[in-house]
Amino acid sequence: MYRELDPGTVYARTEILENAAAAPDRVFNIMLYRLIGRKETHRALGFQKLETFDSKGLETALKLVRESGQPTFTAAYMVSGYRSMGSRDKIVNVSRLFGRLHNGFDEFYPFLARAVNLPAAYATVRSRDGFGNFLAYQILVDLMYPIERDGGRGILPFTPDQWAAAGPGAQKGIGLLTGGSGASDLSVMRWLRSHQRSEFERLSIGFEYLRDSRGVTIEISLANIQNCLCEFYKYEKIREGTGRGRRLFRPSPVGSSPDELGSENIGAF
């Protein structure tokens, strides 16, 4: 599976990363969007500028979404209630969480921009309250996408094949594959990345690779291997009868534009 095809990722790229705002504003919005997990909610909030951001305004806007009867947060992955923020209301807690992130952003962003490699960038995002290993890595993947208005450069100067952090689902998927062999998560993901073609051939799988504008095959990146392992774990639970599918896949009408597609067709990313 290609994360790039997920309608939620299409939204992140076109509406946030390609926004004309400064890089810190775009990073802040990517963090807000990925924690909320719904493009409909982020669209209702509007693009947030660091200069004018107000946590109480965010709280009011999120409550308006809830009062409209629409889901406020994603159901594709866990979004904590953040009770440490002091309220029983998740919206209040998330608003306070982003108020705290906003207050320290002038210190946070330079550390992120100066990161010498992906593990260092990951540690920087992970250091912020509310961003666990899954969300932190998903944010990094967004920040590596090429941005047209920036000449094809990403906000972070790294590639999705340099390093990956396995989220909880991917870790369980790796455990099923290796049977507790002791191999590191990263080494397993790198093996799958480098052996994908030979394994498809060995198993007689005619995988339909994406192609770029020049017709060149786009292999499944290390970042996408991480996502695939999470989905593999879900599939295996259903196949073995120890789990169940929580949502049905809704095929998109032929010719639909990315913005017409549902935000959660592809599960957890």
Dump pLDDT digits (tens) for 170-217. Answer: 999 999 999 978 899 999 999 999 999 999 999 999 999 999 889 999
Smallest CA-to-CA distance from 135 within 99, 48, 143, 24 is with: 143
**Residue 269 confidence (pLDDT):** 40
Smallest CA-to-CA distance from 89 within 97, 99, 81 is with: 81
What average pLDDT does this structure show over 44-57? 98
Q: For residues 140 and 117, give the distance between their C-alpha atoms in angstroms, rounded to a whole number.
A: 11
Yes or no: say if 50 and 28 are a contact pair by the CB < 8 Å rule: yes
The stretches of the chain forming alpha helices (DSSP H) are 7-11, 23-36, 39-45, 55-67, 90-103, 105-113, 118-126, 133-144, 168-178, 185-194, 196-202, 222-240
What average pLDDT does this structure show over 129-142? 95
Paired residues of 72 in beta bridges: none
What is the band of 78 on the pLDDT scale with cuts at 50, 70, 90? confident
Structure tokens at 262: 């549902």
What is the band of 252 on the pLDDT scale with cuts at 50, 70, 90? low
Q: For residues 185 and 173, give the distance between their C-alpha atoms in angstroms, rounded to a whole number.
A: 10
**Residue 76 confidence (pLDDT):** 79
Average pLDDT along the chain: 91
Query: Would you list the domain boundaries of the chain?
Result: 3-150, 168-249
Torsion sign, CA atoms 144, 147, 150, 153: positive
pLDDT of 259 > 90? The answer is: no
pTM of the predicted model as reported, rounded to 2 decimal places: 0.90
Please list, in sequence order, all residues whose beta carbon lies within 8 angstroms of the beta carbon of residue 65, skipping any fewer than 6 positions away.
40, 41, 44, 45, 72
